[in-house]
Amino acid sequence: MLTYLPKRLGQGLLTVFLTVSVVFLLIRLAPGDPAAAFAGPLATSEELAAVREQFGLDAPIFQQYLIFIGQLFTGNLGTSYSFQAPAMTVVMERLPYTLTLATSSILLAALVAIPLGMWMARRADTGGEVGVNVLTVAGQSMPDFWTGIMLLTAFSVVLPIFPASGFTTWGGLVLPTITVAILQVALISRMVRREMVNNFNSPYLTIARSRGVSERLLTWRYALGNAGIPVFTALGTRFAAMLNGVVVVEVVFGWPGVGSLIVRALETRDYPLIQATVLITALLAVAVQLLIDLAYPLLDPRVRLGKAASV
Amino acid sequence: MSTATHITQAPATSSAPSAVTAKALKASASARRARSAKIKLWAGAILTLLVFLPIVLANFLPLADPNAQNLGARRLPPLSDGYLFGTDQLGRDLLSRILFGGQTSLMIGVLAVVVSGAIGVILGSIAGFYGRWADVLISRVLEAQMSLPLLMMLLLVVALFGPSIPVITGVIAIAQWPEVARLTRSLVLVEREKPYVDAAKTLGLHKISILIKHVIPNVFKQASLVILLLLAQAVLLESALSFLGAGPQRPFATWGRLISDGQDYITTSWWMVTLPGLVIVALVVGVNLLGDALRDGRPRRKNRKEA
C-alpha cells in the first residue's frame, strides 16, 4: 500500500502529462490560425502579427512548450482568447454542470440497471427476458444525440413538461439525465446479467443450494455479491468516461458544461481553453480510476493492492 | 451439452422410462439459451440486411439524385407521391439521401474496423507473445488511452485536420484498437503456453514465424468475433462526429449530419430527424444482435459437431 499509492499516482500524472503534451503539439501542428480566428477576416498582416505576439504564438514551439510546462506547475494556463478570462477559471465555472449531469446519470443508471440485470439473470432466456434483452441491445444502439432530440421533441415541444435547454430549473436536468442514462442502463444491466448468470452456473452456488441456502440468499448474497466488483468497476469507469463523454448530449440540450465548452474552444482555436479543458478532464478521469482501484480491498478482502496491480 | 442429440435419442430409448421428458429438456437452461441465441441471430440478420442491402444496391435502385433540389416539393411528409421517406427543407429525396449517405457511413465503419483490427491484432499479439518491455509499453499505452477523454480527442483531431474520410476513418480506428489489442493479448497469453509452441521452438522455428504462422491464426477466429461489435460502435461514433459537424461533407452528407440538419425543422417535419435515426438504430441493433448471437456461439458450435 505504501509503495502502491505513490506508484499509481505517478503513473496517473504521467498519463495526464503525456496527454496534455500530445494535445499541445497537435493543435499547433494542425492548420488553422487562432490569430486569424480572433482578429477576423479583415485583419491586416500587421494586426495579425500583433495578435500573435499578444498570444505568445510568435515564439518557437519549443519555447512555447517550456512556458506551457511552467504554467502547468502554477495551475494558470493563460488567458482564453474568446472569453478574455483565465482559461482555468472558465473551465472551473463549467465543471459543476458536467459533474451534476454525470452524477445524476450514473445514479439513475445504477438504480435501474442493477435491479433490471438481476431480473434478467433470474429469468435468463425465458420469453419475456429475451424481449427485454433485445430492448437493452436497442438502448446500446441508439445514438445519444438522436435519443436526446426525440425526448426533447416529445417532452418539451409536443408535451411541454420540461424546459428545452439550459439548466435554469431542476426540471432541466431530467431529459439530459435520461438521455445519458439510457446507454449506461443498457450496458450495465447486461453486465449484471452476465456476471450473475455466470455465478448461478458456478459450482459454489450449486453446493450452497444443495446445502439448503434459500434462493433469496443465493440471489442477493452469492450471485449479486460476487458480481459486485466487476459491476462497481464498470460503474466507475462509465462515470469517468461520462466526465468527458457527454459532449454530444450537452450540445443537444444546450447544457453549459465542459463538453459544449470544448466544442466552442475548438471552433475558435482557443489554445489555452482547449489545453485547460483537456487537462481538467484527463485529471478527473485518472483520479476516478485511481479511486476505483483504491476501493477494491474494501469490496473484496482477498484483494491486496500492489500485488496484482497490473490487471 | 448438445440438447439436440438428447431429444432425437429420446424416442429410440423410450422403452426405458425416464423422468427427463422431452418437454423438460426443452425448458432446460441450455436449450433456452440456444433458442434465444437463435432468435437473436435471425432478428439481427434480418435487421442488418434490411438496412445493408438497400445501401449497397442504392446505385441500382430507381432513386432520385440525393442532391437534386426541388423547391416545389419542400418538406413533404413520408409516403407522399414518389417520396417514400418524404423530402427535406430543399426538396431533396430523404430516402435517397439516407441510402447514399449510408454508403459513406458504412464504408468508414468497415475501413475503421479493418484498420483497428490490424493494429489491435499486431500490437496485442506482440504484447502477449513477447511479454517484458513490449508488453509493459503496449499495456501502458492501452491504459492511458482508455483513461482519456475519447470523444473529445476525436473531435479535436477532426476539427484540426479537417473532416475528410481518411482522417475520420483513422480517428475511429485509433479509438477502437485498444479493445482488439486487449482481447488479442489475453488470447495470445494463453496460446503461447501451449505445447505446440514449445514444439515449434524445439524444431528451430524463429519466434516471429511461430507468432505469424501458428499463434495468430489460432487466436484469429476468437478475436474476429469482436468485429461486429466494433462495426456497430464505429457507425455510432461516425454519426456522433458528423452530428457535431465533424463528419465528411462529400460526396453526401452522412446520417449524423442529416439529423443535425433536420433538428431545426423538428417541430414541423418530424421525419427528417426520426427516419435517419431509426435507420441507424436498425442497423446498429442488427449488427449488435448478430455479434451477440455469434459470441454466445451456441448455433455455431452445434453445427461444427454435426458436420
User: Does an H or E element contain A121, and which?
Assistant: helix A87-122
Alpha carbons A199 and B107: distance in angstroms, whole number = 40
Are A145 and B292 a contacting pair at CB < 8 A?
no
To which residue does cell 448468470 refer? A197
A282: distance to nearest CA of chain B, Å? 6
Q: Is residue A140 part of a domain?
A: yes
Span A239-254, average pLDDT: 82
Expressed as residue numbers, the domain containing A148 is 100-267
Chain A interface test: which of B26, B30, B35, B36 (most A C-beta within 10 Å): B36
- Closest-CA residue of chain B to A17: B144
How would residue A217 be classed by pLDDT, with cut points 50, 70 and 90? confident
Which of A31, A125, A282 is nearest residue B32 as measured by Cβ atoms?
A125
Whole-number CA gyration radius for chain B: 25
Are B284 and A141 a contacting pair at CB < 8 A?
yes
Q: Is residue A65 part of a domain?
A: no
B26 has a chain A CB within 8 A of its CB: no
pLDDT of residue A119: 92
Q: Check pLDDT > 70 for residue A88.
A: yes
Q: Is residue A13 part of a domain?
A: no
pLDDT of residue B111: 93
Span A90-98, average pLDDT: 91
**Model confidence pLDDT, tens digit, residues A110-140:** 999 999 999 999 888 888 888 898 899 999 8
pLDDT of residue A104: 93
pLDDT of residue A228: 83
Q: Which residues of B touch A140 (CB under 8 A)?
A: 288
Angle (CA) A226-A231-A236 rounded to 5° is: 140
Which of A19, A27, A152 is nearest residue B148 as measured by Cβ atoms?
A19
Are A141 and B39 a contacting pair at CB < 8 A?
no
Are A125 and B270 a contacting pair at CB < 8 A?
no
Which of B43, B143, B144 is nearest residue A134 as measured by Cβ atoms?
B43
Of the candidates B185, B209, B173, B171, which has an alpha carbon nearest to the alpha carbon of residue B123? B185
B207 has a chain A CB within 8 A of its CB: no
The most confident of A39-48, A59-68, A177-186, by mean pLDDT: A177-186
Q: pLDDT above 70 covers what percent of chain A?
A: 96
Residue predicted with more confidence, B70 or A193: A193
Q: Is residue A193 part of a domain?
A: yes
Alpha carbons B150 and A43: distance in angstroms, whole number = 35
Chain B residues 266-295 with CB within 8 Å of chain A: 266-267, 270, 273-274, 277, 280-281, 284-285, 288-289, 292
> What CATH number corresponds to the domain at position A189?
1.10.3720.10
Residue predicted with more confidence, B71 or A220: A220
Span A273-289, average pLDDT: 87
pLDDT of residue A184: 92
**Model confidence pLDDT, tens digit, residues A141-170:** 999 899 999 998 888 888 887 877 777 778
pLDDT of residue B162: 80
- pTM of this prediction? 0.83
- Closest-CA residue of chain B to A281: B149
Are B147 and A286 a contacting pair at CB < 8 A?
yes
Q: Is residue A77 part of a domain?
A: no
Burial class (CB in 10 A: 0-12, 13-18, 19+), B304: exposed
Q: Is residue A220 part of a domain?
A: yes
Are A143 and B243 a contacting pair at CB < 8 A?
yes
Integer angstrom CA distances of residue A155 from A161, A163, A176: 6, 9, 12
Chain A residues 286-305 with CB within 8 Å of chain B: 286, 289
CB A145 within 8 A of CB A247: no
Residue predicted with more confidence, A303 or B55: B55
Are A145 and B151 a contacting pair at CB < 8 A?
no
Is the bond preceding B251 in cis, omega lying within 30 degrees of 0? yes
- Residue pairs spanning A and B at CB distance below 8 A: 142
pLDDT of residue B3: 45
Q: Which residues of B touch A245 (CB under 8 A)?
A: 149-151
pLDDT of residue A182: 93
pLDDT of residue B24: 79
Q: Is residue A44 part of a domain?
A: no
Alpha carbons B185 and B192: distance in angstroms, whole number = 10
Residue predicted with more confidence, A170 or A90: A90
Question: First-to-last CA distance in chain A?
Answer: 16
Count: domains in chain A: 1
Q: Which residues of B touch A278 (CB under 8 A)?
A: 149, 152, 156
pLDDT of residue B5: 46
pLDDT of residue B26: 76
* Least confident stretch, A294-298, A299-303, B167-171, B224-228: A299-303
pLDDT of residue B278: 92
Q: Is residue A129 part of a domain?
A: yes
Of the candidates A30, A276, A55, which has an alpha carbon nearest to the alpha carbon of residue B159? A30
Long-range contacts at A121-124 (CB < 8 A, ≥ 24 apart):
A121/A192, A121/A193, A121/A196, A121/A197, A121/A200, A121/A223, A122/A219, A124/A193, A124/A197, A124/A200, A124/B29, A124/B32, A124/B33
pLDDT of residue A307: 53
A1: distance to nearest CA of chain B, Å? 21
Chain A residues 128-147 with CB within 8 Å of chain B: 129-130, 133-134, 137-138, 140-146
B148 has a chain A CB within 8 A of its CB: yes
Q: Check pLDDT > 80 for residue A41.
A: no
pLDDT tens, N- to C-terminus, chain B (307 residues): 444 444 444 454 555 667 778 777 777 777 888 888 888 899 999 999 999 998 888 788 777 777 777 777 777 777 777 777 777 777 788 888 888 888 889 999 999 999 999 999 999 999 988 888 888 888 888 877 776 667 777 887 887 788 888 888 998 998 888 888 988 988 888 888 889 988 998 998 888 888 888 888 888 888 888 888 899 989 998 898 888 888 777 667 788 888 888 888 877 778 888 888 999 999 999 999 998 888 776 444 433 333 3
Are B32 and A286 a contacting pair at CB < 8 A?
no
Residue predicted with more confidence, A191 or A3: A191
pLDDT of residue A147: 92
pLDDT of residue A136: 92
